[in-house]
Amino acid sequence: MNCIFCRIIKGEISSKKVYEDDRVYAFEDINPQAPVHTLIVPKKHISTILDTSEGDNELIGHMFQVANKIARQKGIAERGFRLVMNCNHESGQTVFHVHLHLLGGRLMHWPPG
């Protein structure tokens, strides 16, 4: 398997690390869409959110707790931020290893593009 995020987690591709623990790795998006754009990625390879099962609930919940922690660290928690997880083609998913986008530091619009 030649998954770019698995390679980033292994350190085979360099990244700007924001947070790491036994289950999750977070790093700065290479093409930021906001002043804060961090990706929170499970170390376990899961292609899309559709491929998760009940057994992954704790892991998925943990990703959100990590996002909260990073949002607070980066000083955007009170102003507000957006968490996005794209799934499959029409959402714009381009990397097929589940990841949560943490976006903030500017006013967000709705509906999203």
Among residues 11, 61, 92, 112, which is the contact residue for ligand 5GP, using CB under 6 A?
92
Min dist CB 16 to ligand 5GP, Å, is 7
**DSSP character at residue 91:** G
Neighbours of 2 (CB within 10 A): 5
Among residues 31, 109, 111, 113, which is the contact residue for ligand 5GP, using CB under 6 A?
31
Q: Is 88 in the site for ligand 5GP (CB under 6 A)?
A: no
Q: Which does 6 bind (CB under 5 to 8 A by kind): Zn ion, ligand 5GP, none?
A: Zn ion
Is the alpha carbon torsion for 69, 71, 77, 83 positive or negative?
Answer: negative
Among residues 6, 19, 29, 62, which is the contact residue for ligand 5GP, using CB under 6 A?
29
- C-beta separation of 35 from 105 below 8 A: yes
62 is catalytic: no
Q: Which does 38 bind (CB under 5 to 8 A by kind): ligand 5GP, Zn ion, none?
A: none
Task: Tell me, rounded to whole angstroms, the distance of Cα 88 from its chain centroid.
Answer: 15
